[in-house]
Chains A and B, each alone.
Chain A
Amino acid sequence: MLTVETLKEFGADVETGLARCAGNEGLYLRLVNICVQELTANEMEAALSANDLEKAFEIAHRLKGGVSNLALTPIETPVCELTELLRHQTPGDYDALYAQLMQKTKELEELAQ
């Protein structure tokens, strides 16, 4: 079960995230759940393995929007890096960053269960 406390333990900047939700905890937690679902939808993996970097950028950018607004800091760092790499299609280790992102996502997902 996700709670404000478990999210704090996870490393999220809950206060900032909540401030963006006008202090509504219920909404905040519901949005985090939606975010987890988006992260685990594996769309990104498909785009990366097809080497469709444009598509991958679009997905990363959208994920970044949600993750940063919810202030899920541990996920925010890899998703931002990934987005910036993809934005300029700089050659780099996408897979490693993606793995890191998925690792953190998994941690969050476990908290949610």
Chain B
Amino acid sequence: MAKDKTSFRITEEKRRILIIEDEIINQEMLKESIADHYDIIIAQTGEEALDIVHEEHETISVVLLDLYLPGIKGIDVLKKIKGDPIYAHLPVIVMTSDYEAEVECLTYGAIDFISKPYPPSEVILARILRTVELSENRDTIHWAERDHLTGLYNKEFFYHYAMQLDLYHKGMETDAVVIDVNHFHTVNDRYGKTRGDEVLKHIAESLHELVTEDGGIVCRSEADTFMLYCPHRTDYEAILQELTFTIEDEEAGESHIWVRMGVYAAVDKALDIEFRFDRAKMAADTVKGNLTNPIAYYDESMHDAEVLAEQLIADFHTAIREKQFVVYYQPKYNVQQAEPVLTSAEALVRWKHPKLGMVNPGVFIPLFEDNGLIQELDHYVWSEAAAQIHDWKERLQLSIPVSVNISRVDLYGPELVDNLLKLIRINRLEMEELILEITESAYTENSKMIVKKVEHLRQLGFKIEMDDFGSGYSSLSMLSTMPIDALKLDMQFIRGAFNVRKDTRLLDIMIKLADAFELITIAEGVETAEQVFTLKQLGCDVIQGYYFSRPLPADEFEKYITSQNIMRPVQRNENGRIAPRDDYSYNALHDEVTGLYNYSAFDVLFRDADQEHLAILIADVDDYDSIKQKGKAYADKLICHVAQVLKANFRSVDYICRLTENEFVVIVTHVTKANKETVFSKIDKINRSLKTPWEDIQPVDLTVGIAFSDRTKPGSDVFKDADTALQRMKEIKNSGYSVF
């Protein structure tokens, strides 16, 4: 089979012909007649022929069948092929000298005849060619639908074609690529649909030109998404360059069209074609909106995430049934009084997975949002929370309103209002005790319908908080028409305002704006005293965040609200590993130099992590004193480099913290027997990366100590164990790693 790039085409491939014929003279004649144009497989008997059909039907174009065969007769072979839905599409040409048999064969689905004795070679060739064309056109007509706008293939045909290519190029390394236009809807909004269509056509043409000459195929799979399937190549950066361009318009001004690309290189051909492009898409989504580095390659960590995702989806219903989802409550404080007053709480879901331990909602919520399971999960959380409010009212005589999340899909469900009212009724709650948080982005889609629905809920007496406000979806003018009671400022937004260069001007405007519309403002993700102070100054009404308390399980929350001392941050140093520090109230949970979590964050994260399924990895940068002698700028750059390498090698569910100036610690979560080994291979990879000089950074040596929680004796501390392992390594003055 041809292997060079340019033959990544079906049209340039030899079709395969199965000849079923036992007579050697006839076989030889047929071979001589057609071997220049076709690949030939010979079967001597009907049995052998059926085996071949079973194994290779996908790549056989035509079957030539002799009716007189030893063993199973030719006519029965024909019946078997035509009677099986998988093989029935195979065109069969019958070779016979018996005219009567022809009629019978026709009724069983033979497509043509070759008489015996044979006609001249060229006649045989012509009949086969005609048969190939007829049957392929029939197949192609079935599939050939192009995208009307761009003239590229549509997705269905593209997949079909790609699978055919695979059959003919079994050994070739092939890439699946997804290309998305960033913020394409804004192009349509700004320049009109005609202009938008031109942009898509332009991209389609460029792509087509760029890749088809090297033997790739392209399709437009959705509005602004293109897919590419081609022999493995390495010039994607260049392709991307070509696709980025500027539109100019006298009235609307000029605008850059940015595309992003996800590449799943050297695909695993055992995967369904759709999954290969899912992987490419997954990669593309990781660089959504990233203009400086718009290409992502599907890699092992994404694979890990994918495997995890599959498991989580598979385990979902058991988890609901077994109540593995646990609702945590994070208090919200009114800060516009002399002393902060606890006013309500937000219900946040956690998953105590029996095998994986505590699963981060950041991992499973987006997943369930994608596949619709979120509706079931939401309903579960609502009923748990409603029952909890009821319980606290009964036992503690305390009314603590709890806010729950309403996902976008919930708003489309006709039973939403009934479900909520039912929960209110059976738990004998007041309407305002179950607060509804609706994400900002839900309002932008089909907003009329959504606004109407939310209005209805509000008229019934529910309080509505708009979640994630400031994450970039709504226009401020929408605020005047929105049926809401409170604005919840997006956590990222708060972080942005308080990062290294503190800039709270926008925060100020938003709070004033909310005030103008008589909306309550709630800030979440608030971590420091400085943030609380500033937000209070700016007029923010309610604050939620680690400064006051992390989300707590119901029993702890209960203790918390009944205790006297509820205004101070919770103590986070119980496990004794890090002694209380004087500068405990220092700015944030993040390290200034690297942006990683700092030691305060580590303590919280470590305590919250599932202790049974984790590994602790402490990594010290060797010879840090001599590194520092090269100046602070150099030392900081080196530390950032190490941080980057660590980040690149661990998953998003792992926590990487900078503990001291030259000490990092990684909390590897969800460790199971099966994935333990990958921890070691990651360390090897990290050490290899760091040994290569990077820019002006000299090779870096890390000394690493590791401990796994399943090896730690009950009652002892996995962090201490890792530390012991680290010290052991240091004693022998060796970089590398040691396991406790």
Closest Cβ–Cβ distance, residue B528 to chain A (whole Å)? 87
B residues near A46, Cβ cutoff 8 Å: none
B residues near A71, Cβ cutoff 8 Å: 117
Inter-chain contact A21/B29, CB cutoff 8 Å: yes
A residues near B624, Cβ cutoff 8 Å: none
Name B25's contact: one of A22, A34, A61 (CB within 8 Å): A34
Q: A103 to B32, alpha carbons, bound, how many Å?
A: 30
Closest Cβ–Cβ distance, residue B353 to chain A (whole Å)? 69
Q: A61-B68, A70-B25 are in contact. Are A22 and B117 (CB under 8 A)?
A: no
Of A16, A22, A69, most buried by chain B (CB within 10 Å of CB) is A22
B residues near A24, Cβ cutoff 8 Å: 32
A residues near B68, Cβ cutoff 8 Å: 61-62, 65
Inter-chain contact B121/A19, CB cutoff 8 Å: yes
Q: A20-B29, A61-B68 are in contact. Are A66 and B23 (CB under 8 A)?
A: yes
Q: Which residue of B lies closest to A65 (CB)?
A: B23
Q: A75 to B424, alpha carbons, bound, how many Å?
A: 100
Q: A21 to B121, alpha carbons, bound, how many Å?
A: 7
B residues near A100, Cβ cutoff 8 Å: none
Inter-chain contact A22/B116, CB cutoff 8 Å: no
- Decide yes or no whether B516 CB sits under 8 A from chain A: no
Q: A71 to B117, alpha carbons, bound, how many Å?
A: 8
Inter-chain contact B121/A31, CB cutoff 8 Å: no
Closest Cβ–Cβ distance, residue A83 to chain B (whole Å)? 10
Of B23, B70, B117, B121, most buried by chain A (CB within 10 Å of CB) is B117
Name A22's contact: one of B22, B23, B33, B119 (CB within 8 Å): B33
- Decide yes or no whether B693 CB sits under 8 A from chain A: no
Q: A22 to B33, alpha carbons, bound, how many Å?
A: 6
Q: Which residue of B lies closest to A83 (CB)?
A: B97
B residues near A16, Cβ cutoff 8 Å: 117, 120
Contact with B along A38-80 (1 / 0, CB 8 A): 0000000000000000000010011001101111000000000
Q: A66-B23, A69-B26 are in contact. Are A21 and B116 (CB under 8 A)?
A: no
- Decide yes or no whether B500 CB sits under 8 A from chain A: no
List B363-420 residues whose CB lies under 8 Å from chain A: none
Inter-chain contact A31/B23, CB cutoff 8 Å: no
Contact with A along B32-64 (1 / 0, CB 8 A): 110000000000000000000000000000000
Name B24's contact: one of A19, A23, A34, A58 (CB within 8 Å): A34
Contact with A along B56-87 (1 / 0, CB 8 A): 00000000000010100000000000000000
Closest Cβ–Cβ distance, residue A36 to chain B (whole Å)? 11
Inter-chain contact A65/B32, CB cutoff 8 Å: no
List B99-118 residues whose CB lies under 8 Å from chain A: 116-118
Q: How many residues of B contact A (CB 8 A)?
A: 19
- Decide yes or no whether B28 CB sits under 8 A from chain A: yes
Inter-chain contact B116/A69, CB cutoff 8 Å: yes
Closest Cβ–Cβ distance, residue A40 to chain B (whole Å)? 15
Q: A62 to B119, alpha carbons, bound, how many Å?
A: 18
Inter-chain contact A19/B117, CB cutoff 8 Å: no
A residues near B25, Cβ cutoff 8 Å: 31, 34-35, 65-66, 69-70
Q: How many residues of A contact B (CB 8 A)?
A: 21
Q: A22-B32, A22-B33 are in contact. Are A69 and B118 (CB under 8 A)?
A: yes
Q: A56 to B122, alpha carbons, bound, how many Å?
A: 34
Closest Cβ–Cβ distance, residue B492 to chain A (whole Å)? 74
Inter-chain contact B120/A19, CB cutoff 8 Å: yes
Q: A93 to B730, alpha carbons, bound, how many Å?
A: 105
A residues near B29, Cβ cutoff 8 Å: 20-21, 27, 31, 69
B residues near A62, Cβ cutoff 8 Å: 22-23, 68
A residues near B70, Cβ cutoff 8 Å: 58
Q: A68 to B117, alpha carbons, bound, how many Å?
A: 6
Q: A35-B25, A65-B26, A70-B25 are in contact. Are A27 and B116 (CB under 8 A)?
A: no
Q: A24 to B28, alpha carbons, bound, how many Å?
A: 11
B residues near A19, Cβ cutoff 8 Å: 120-121
B residues near A21, Cβ cutoff 8 Å: 28-29, 32-33, 121
Inter-chain contact A20/B118, CB cutoff 8 Å: yes
Q: A30 to B28, alpha carbons, bound, how many Å?
A: 10
Inter-chain contact A20/B117, CB cutoff 8 Å: yes
Inter-chain contact A20/B120, CB cutoff 8 Å: yes
Q: A29 to B456, alpha carbons, bound, how many Å?
A: 93
A residues near B116, Cβ cutoff 8 Å: 65, 68-69
Q: Which residue of A lies closest to B28 (CB)?
A: A31
Of A20, A21, A69, most buried by chain B (CB within 10 Å of CB) is A20
Contact with A along B122-153 (1 / 0, CB 8 A): 10000000000000000000000000000000
B residues near A31, Cβ cutoff 8 Å: 25, 28-29
B residues near A35, Cβ cutoff 8 Å: 25
A residues near B120, Cβ cutoff 8 Å: 16, 19-20
B residues near A58, Cβ cutoff 8 Å: 70
Q: Which residue of A lies closest to B121 (CB)?
A: A22
B residues near A23, Cβ cutoff 8 Å: 121
Of A16, A19, A34, A70, most buried by chain B (CB within 10 Å of CB) is A19
Contact with B along A9-33 (1 / 0, CB 8 A): 0000000100111111001001100
Q: A19 to B32, alpha carbons, bound, how many Å?
A: 11
Contact with A along B476-504 (1 / 0, CB 8 A): 00000000000000000000000000000
Q: A61 to B26, alpha carbons, bound, how many Å?
A: 13
Q: A5 to B576, alpha carbons, bound, how many Å?
A: 107
Inter-chain contact B28/A20, CB cutoff 8 Å: no
Q: Which residue of A lies closest to B123 (CB)?
A: A19
A residues near B23, Cβ cutoff 8 Å: 62, 65-66
Closest Cβ–Cβ distance, residue A66 to chain B (whole Å)? 4
Closest Cβ–Cβ distance, residue A96 to chain B (whole Å)? 24
Contact with A along B265-295 (1 / 0, CB 8 A): 0000000000000000000000000000000
Name B32's contact: one of A27, A34, A66, A70 (CB within 8 Å): A27
Closest Cβ–Cβ distance, residue A16 to chain B (whole Å)? 8
Inter-chain contact A27/B28, CB cutoff 8 Å: yes
B residues near A70, Cβ cutoff 8 Å: 25
Q: A66 to B70, alpha carbons, bound, how many Å?
A: 16
B residues near A66, Cβ cutoff 8 Å: 23-26
Q: Which residue of A lies closest to B70 (CB)?
A: A58
Q: A46 to B122, alpha carbons, bound, how many Å?
A: 39
Closest Cβ–Cβ distance, residue A15 to chain B (whole Å)? 10
Q: Which residue of B lies closest to A30 (CB)?
A: B28
Q: A86 to B23, alpha carbons, bound, how many Å?
A: 19
Inter-chain contact A69/B33, CB cutoff 8 Å: no
Q: A15 to B574, alpha carbons, bound, how many Å?
A: 102
Closest Cβ–Cβ distance, residue B540 to chain A (whole Å)? 89
B residues near A65, Cβ cutoff 8 Å: 23, 25-26, 68, 97, 116-117
Given contacts A22-B122, A24-B32, A65-B117, 12 further A-B contacts (CB under 8 A): A20-B29, A20-B117, A20-B120, A21-B28, A21-B29, A21-B121, A27-B28, A27-B32, A58-B70, A65-B25, A66-B25, A69-B25
CB within 8 Å of A: which residues of B?
A: 22-26, 28-29, 32-33, 68, 70, 97, 116-122
CB within 8 Å of B: which residues of A?
A: 16, 19-24, 27, 30-31, 34-35, 58, 61-62, 65-66, 68-71
Q: List 7 A-B contacts (CB under 8 A).
A: A19-B121, A20-B121, A21-B29, A22-B122, A65-B26, A69-B25, A71-B117
7 nearest A-B residue pairs (beta carbon): A19-B120, A66-B25, A22-B121, A68-B117, A69-B117, A20-B118, A65-B23
